[in-house]
Structure 1
Amino acid sequence: MTSRKVLGLTGSIGMGKSTVAGMFRELGVPVFDADAAVHALQGPGGALLAAIESEFPGTTGPLGVDRQKLGAAVFGDPGKLARLERIVHPAVGAMRGDFLRENAGAPLIVFDVPLLYEKGGQAGLDAVAVVSAPAAQQRQRVLARPGMTSEKFEQILALQVPDAEKRARADFVIDTGGSLEATRDQVAGIVRTLTRAE
């Protein structure tokens, strides 16, 4: 019986989750990036292109899925979004299974899942860490992104479980409102806690 732990890592937009995932990697912890998996499946030559094109004609091309066209095809239509998810989720699940097997000897594995609470992704996890920062800092970070507007930011927030609820449900809260060093210390502390011999 393995004592390996699986930690879910999540957080709302602009909270610093990608930075924190990088910190886990620096400490030698394998990180499965759900977004990167989706990009690989939908990118040039991606395994899901034929299925997506068949279901949503005109949304793919030589560069893979045209995210704007696919977004326009499913946005605001729960039925179409569900059809897309039925194509994407099993494939991501299979990649996650492969990742677990490839890293079978690791004492700790991190699943980086942006919409963990929104999509019910807690199954099979030993703990969840939520990356969080003060709302004003979050807003400042997000609005600094190219092409981002206040309206877009509000729309994205409306689709995500509120930060306060995520914090309340999490086993660990990683506060990225301070220095990078302070954040690194928090990450190292979680790794120590989860890899201690029981």
Structure 2
Amino acid sequence: MELSDVAITAGIPRGQRPRVARLYWQAFHRKLRPALSDEQRAVPYLESLLADDRVVCAHADGTVIGVVGFSLRGRAAVGFSFAELRARYSTFTAPVRALLLGVLERRTHPGSLLLDGISVAPEARGLGVGTALLAHVRRLALDEKMDAVRLSVVDTNPRARDLYQRLGYVAEESASIGPLRRLYGFRTATEMVLSLEGKRS
């Protein structure tokens, strides 16, 4: 497979919602496992919450091989729902699960598009799929008259941080999760910003 074989489109191709949810889980299971438990329950939960208009997919031969989700104007790619937590887990554990998800919540900034997460299938890594997805999101942010694209990268993913820096993202503030690091699998998360001011044609 080459990058020329890959299509980048907004939305989730028909029949690919389970695949997109699974890619999300594969990329972020360490952070999500405390709240969502095992893959068998987490993937259907994530699938039920995916917002088609807040997702960009890379696909080849009808199969999604990469996905990036984003938050824009108050709506996220995966809008975690307490009602769905109760329905898919239990009334008793839902409050604790909601608190564990709340630790991962990130603040939004007016005039900014916020990346919720990016994931590329193992068989498609090294082709430039992640870079192509980020380029698509940058164009989308410009079309939406946003001033910046923001994202968060954890200290256990230095390769991702290097990629973002090469694409022009600048590190701003870092936040530690303290003693919760053993639970979530990372110590700090750094917010990075790609300024779009003066970039509109």
Please tell me the TM-score bracket, short chain as reference.
0.3 to 0.5
Q: Which has the higher strand share?
A: 2
Q: Which has the higher helix share?
A: 1
Task: Return the TM-score normalized by structure 1.
Answer: 0.32
Structure with larger Rg: 1
Task: Return the TM-score normalized by structure 2.
Answer: 0.32
Query: Which structure has the higher relative contact order (CA within 8 Å, separation 6+)?
Result: 1
